[in-house]
Amino acid sequence: MTDRPAYTLVVLISGSGTNLQAIIDAIQEGLPATIAAVISNESSAYALKRAKQAGIATEVIDHRMFESRHSFDDKLAAVIDSYRPQLIILAGFMRVLGKSFVDHFQDRILNIHPSLLPDYKGLNTHQRVLDDDKTYHGCSVHVVTSVLDSGPIIIQAKIRIKDDDTAGKLQQRVQQMEYKIYPAAIRLFAEGRISIVENNIYIDGECQRLPILVTEED
């Protein structure tokens, strides 16, 4: 037994929550963290069911109920703060967060993006990679800054594109890797091994010039 308090997460979702599930499963298997709440901007998101099944508090904050992006962000920040998390995990959260929100939680928000950033920021990454006839694709866990999909990258997973890959098949293959690298990134924080200084990632005190790279063989 350790008397160190569990590392507290709040997870933001909008959809099915398979990444949320991977994090819940990783915690059950020993990842030293706890999810204080799952917050959705969509009341029908399946991820809310997953959270409830795991006994995790849920909140719905519907962005359509707010006059402006700013007022939504302010409410979201206040609800997150009420759970006092150390880290905020974006797991398929389909809202862009404004600068004051990001500044409020500086270096404490992570996102998972389905591409080998800095390539293919934005949406429809799987189809865009196929259209460009690329050899490799993947996913990235990065720190959120106020520039979309551009914060420091902690860990990436790289897969080789197969001849018969479609956007749907690629999405599935990439997601299998997401379920590995998101809990791995959270573990670095929960174990106190990572710090971020002026947009540089330090792991065990060493500045990382490149993200950690995971492949399908790992």
Subset of 4-33 contacting ligand GRF (CB under 6 A)? 13, 15-19
Beta carbon nearer to ligand GRF, 175 or 195? 175
Q: Measured from the CB of residue 120, what is the shortest distance to ligand GRF in angstroms?
A: 11
Beta carbon nearer to ligand GRF, 82 or 172? 172
Subset of 29-58 contacting ligand GRF (CB under 6 A)? 47
Active-site pick, 113, 126, 137, 142: 113
Q: Does 175 sit near ligand GRF (CB under 6 A)?
A: yes
Alpha-carbon dihedral 38, 202, 171, 96, rounded to 10 degrees: 50
Q: What long-range pairs does 34-37 form, CB within 8 A, spacing at least 24?
A: 34/6, 34/7, 34/8, 34/9, 35/8, 35/9, 35/10, 35/11, 36/8, 36/9, 36/10, 36/83, 36/84, 36/85, 37/10, 37/11, 37/79, 37/80, 37/83, 37/85
Q: Does 177 sit near ligand GRF (CB under 6 A)?
A: no
Total residues in contact with ligand GRF, by rule CB under 6 A: 15
Question: Length of the chain in residues, anyone?
Answer: 218
Cis peptide before 114 (omega within 30 of 0): no
Residue that has been written with the tokens 């993200």 in this structure: 211
Beta carbon nearer to ligand GRF, 47 or 61? 47
- Give the residue at shortest CB distance from ligand GRF: 92
Residue that has been written with the tokens 């890959």 in this structure: 165
Per-position x/- string for 123-162, each x denoting binding to ligand GRF as judged by CB under 6 A, each - no binding: ----------------x-----------------------
Q: Does 183 sit near ligand GRF (CB under 6 A)?
A: no
Tokens of 169: 């098949």
Sort 183 into a burial class: Cβ within 10 Å, 0-12 / 13-18 / 19+. buried
Subset of 93-122 contacting ligand GRF (CB under 6 A)? 112-114
113 is catalytic: yes
Contacting positions for ligand GRF (CB under 6 A): 13, 15-19, 47, 91-92, 112-114, 139, 175, 178
Active site residues: 113
